[in-house]
Amino acid sequence: MAIPCPPLIGSEKLSMEAGPLSPLSSPPRLVLTQDELKKIAAYKAVEFVKSGMVIGLGTGSTAKHAVDRIADLLHQGKLKNIIGIPTSKKTHQQALSLGIPLSDLNSHPNVDLAIDGADEVDSDLNLVKGRGGSLLREKMIESACTKFVVIVDESKLVSHIGANGAMPVEVVPFCWKFSQERLQQLFYYSGCMAKLRSNGGENGEPFVTDNGNYIVDLFFKKDIGDLRAASDAILRLPGVVEHGMFLGMATTVIVAGELGVTVKNK
Ligand SMILES: O=C(CO)[C@H](O)[C@H](O)COP(=O)(O)O
């Protein structure tokens, strides 16, 4: 179901693709930025939030809009008695600063609804997550929820999982090179390249997750095929903590694109 985009939130941009003076030019077309599309998807997802719910709060630039929106509705008195379960230290910090009451899975093991972004979404609503590095906490919280709403702009839609960038795997730091090598061998026939994620600094130090682990990013040249088999094989490797394939977990995916918002249900 495609719903036309709501009025723009934030800045408006007009695209004059054929040039403003061309007699053949079509009327100016409204172009939304990627961040505006993320915000539209996030606001749509927050419509699922009801007073009294325990909410999994996702991580990343799309989920950040949802957390902001939940806080706004709390402050306006339109939502009451919400408890947020953050999926990362960063989201914890954001929610805390916005005054959202917080808890964790130890105290609230049953989560009513989680809202989070994704890096890739296939036509069966399987996901790649974790390019922001929070895959372990995200998977723990999102597998404990009744409803998992994924929010993306249309650039995240893929023909198959692994088609458009890294598939992250969280590994313990102990002998990470060994784990990296084993992961690459595992997907030899898919032309896999395994690469330790760096923290982006000049020193080239590894990126360290909220759980004190490293991330090995897998890049595939070919389709990896049976996703469940791939998932099981990765998780069987000693040294692996979790991977970023979220298979069969999303109950709803909200996609914001130039032509409107699409809500896909499992
Ligand atoms: O999985 C994630 C973090 O671990 C994010 O949800 C994912 O990377 C999408 O991020 P963004 O909304 O910034 O595109």
Each residue's pLDDT tens digit, 59-96: 999 999 999 999 999 999 999 999 999 999 999 999 99
pLDDT tens by residue, 9-61: 433 333 333 334 445 566 666 789 999 999 999 999 999 999 999 999 999 99
Please work out whether the CB of residue 117 comes within 6 Å of at least one atom of ligand 1.
yes
* pTM score of the predicted model: 0.90
- CATH code, domain with 102: 3.40.50.1360
* 266 is a domain residue: no
* 4 is a domain residue: no
Amino acid 16: pLDDT = 33
Distance 63 CA to ligand 1 centre (A): 8
* 23 is a domain residue: no
Amino acid 230: pLDDT = 98
pLDDT tens by residue, 195-224: 999 999 888 899 999 999 999 999 999 999
Amino acid 25: pLDDT = 61
Range of the domain at 72: 34-258
Number of domains in the chain: 1
* 13 is a domain residue: no
Active-site residue, 138 included: yes
* 9 is a domain residue: no
Instruction: Please give the mean pLDDT across all residues of the chain.
Output: 92
Please work out whether the CB of residue 133 comes within 6 Å of at least one atom of ligand 1.
yes
Distance 64 CA to ligand 1 centre (A): 10
Average of pLDDT values for 121-132? Answer: 98
* 210 is a domain residue: yes
Please work out whether the CB of residue 59 comes within 6 Å of at least one atom of ligand 1.
yes
* 194 is a domain residue: yes
To test ligand 1's pocket by mutation, which of 40, 57, 59, 127 has the most ligand atoms within 8 angstroms of CB? 59
Please work out whether the CB of residue 251 comes within 6 Å of at least one atom of ligand 1.
no
* 184 is a domain residue: yes
Three-state SS string over the chain comes to CEECCCCCCCCCEEECCCCCCCCCCCCCEEECCHHHHHHHHHHHHHCCCCCCCEEEECCCHHHHHHHHHHHHHHHCCCCCCCEEEECCHHHHHHHHHCCCCECCCCCCCCEEEEEECCCEECCCCCEECCCCCCHHHHHHHHCCEEEEEEEEEHHHECCCCCCCCCEEEEECCCCHHHHHHHHHHHCHHHCCEEEECECCCCCCCECCCCCCCEEEEEECCCCCCCHHHHHHHHHHCCCEEEECEECCCCCEEEEEECCEEEEEEC
